[in-house]
Amino acid sequence: MGNIVIVGAQWGDEGKGKIVDLLTEKVDCVVRFQGGNNAGHTLVVDGQKTVLHLVPSGILHAHVTCLIGNGVVLDPEVLLQEIELLAHRGLLTNASRLRISDAAHVIMPFHKQLDRLREEKMGAGKIGTTGRGIGPCYEDKIGRRGIRLGELLYPDDLKEKLQGLINYYNELLPALYKSEKIDFATVYDQALSWGERLKPYIENTSVLIGKLMKQNKMLLFEGAQGTSLDIDHGTFPFVTSSNTVAGGACSGAGVGPTAIESVLGITKAYATRVGSGPFPSELFDEVGQGLQVRGKEFGATTGRPRRCGWLDLVALRHATRVNGLTGLIMTKIDVLSGVDTIKLVTHYECDGERLEDMPTHPKLLERCKPVFEEIEGWKNDITSVRKFADLPTSCQAYVRHVEKSIGVPLMLLSVGPERGQDIWLQKF
């Protein structure tokens, strides 16, 4: 098996953490390539719950090297807390197991401040961000004024660069939000201390990946969020600020597309979304509430309830195309047990037209009416089923129908949150 990219095929929270954990047994290295601590994975180790936001969950497997690539934005406080926690539990005893790109951009306190102030000001039209400073940090990256992790190791150069950035924010924040000026010395001291503490982990991870590939090591590139939250291919502007699609693995880790052999898309058996923005298949009734409760659809990062809806084949076909999916993994199918009639969005109708593809224009997407097909549900609890043939016939029909509709082979079905609650359809 060659190098794999794992991406969310929906709006995030597809259960990628569990799948990455499962596949990590077969790989040597797990790489995060975009996003930041807007993501969250809940892990249970020896009965103790740990929520990781930045460190790849592969850290739980002693044989795996975990990398945080240049495409990630890092909140050093959060990263240091995670490192301390993992070290305390004996899960990170050697810095060689966690390598962090010197080119990853640093989330500064004023990025978080701007994220929150801006959302407050937008009121009802807000994006519903996680408030972690993700957008403002990426803005400074693209604006060519952001600070990269490796720069924290050069105090004199940092002083000049940070002073320039803080001057910029000291014009922006009081003018737009009437907030107080940022004290340069406080942030500078903090930044130097972050650099000092993170120094053992900082490296040029693209070079390291190149070396690992020469040694024929197998890499798994772990996407955060999901396709419909991609800055280019998602439901703009209600998206995150990075490329969540498979192509982002190349730019966000520093590898060429020829390094990737397979791209696996993870989808829930239904759909969820956190934050604002169009969600054509959203349910506002007790069926949606049932999915929310049974599926424990509350965010691992912010605790916000997730909006729930039916599986949207238009969005899934879109994800298949923009990621070049070679395989599909469906999670949480057990949550659909007991639903009498399951619906699937086949296409949209908008302004009297039939649409097979997601429209790019946000107002058009808001006006899209989903057109559903119905599939008979099943009653039985399927959480202990381990063979496809043992699933209720209507459950088999549902899964096969999705697979046929998007034209990508289904590799794995997850029927519960625990390790082992899986049905393999194709082995890797």
Q: Which residues bind ligand IMP (CB under 6 A)?
A: 12-13, 38-39, 127-130, 132, 134-135, 224-225, 229, 238, 240-241, 274-275
Residue whose CB is less far from ligand IMP, 229 or 413: 229
**Under 8 Å CB-to-CB from 308, ≥6 apart: which residues?**
270, 271, 272, 282, 283, 288, 289, 291, 292, 295, 297
Q: In whole angstroms, how far apart are CA 163 and each of 29, 45, 73, 196, 411? A: 37, 43, 20, 19, 51
Give the nearest residue (CB) to ligand IMP: 275
**Shortest approach of ligand IMP to residue 28 CB, angstroms?**
26
Task: Note whether 134 and 73 are within 8 A (CB).
Answer: yes
Residue with tokens 């998602």: 234
Residue whose CB is less far from ligand IMP, 224 or 382: 224
Burial class (CB in 10 A: 0-12, 13-18, 19+), 225: buried
Q: Establish whether 232 is a catalytic residue.
A: no
Residue with tokens 């399927």: 382
**Under 8 Å CB-to-CB from 165, ≥6 apart: which residues?**
108, 140, 145, 146, 147
**Shortest approach of ligand IMP to residue 317 CB, angstroms?**
21
Residue whose CB is less far from ligand IMP, 153 or 300: 300
Catalytic residue among 13, 75, 102, 230: 13
Residue whose CB is less far from ligand IMP, 102 or 297: 297
**Shortest approach of ligand IMP to residue 377 CB, angstroms?**
26
Task: Note whether 319 and 271 are within 8 A (CB).
Answer: no
Task: Note whether 278 and 366 are within 8 A (CB).
Answer: yes
**Shortest approach of ligand IMP to residue 272 CB, angstroms?**
8
Q: Which amino acid is at 342?
A: I
**Closest to 387 (Cα-Cα) out of 419, 413, 416:** 413
Catalytic residue among 41, 105, 111, 347: 41
Q: Establish whether 13 is a catalytic residue.
A: yes
Task: Note whether 174 and 218 are within 8 A (CB).
Answer: no
Residue whose CB is less far from ligand IMP, 202 or 249: 249
Question: For 233, how many CA atoms within 13 A lie in the half-sphere containing its CB?
Answer: 24
**CA distance linking residue 225 with residue 239, whole number of Å:** 9
**Shortest approach of ligand IMP to residue 127 CB, angstroms?**
5
The helix (run of H) or strand (run of E) holding residue 328 is strand 327-331
Residue whose CB is less far from ligand IMP, 225 or 326: 225
Active site residues: 13, 41
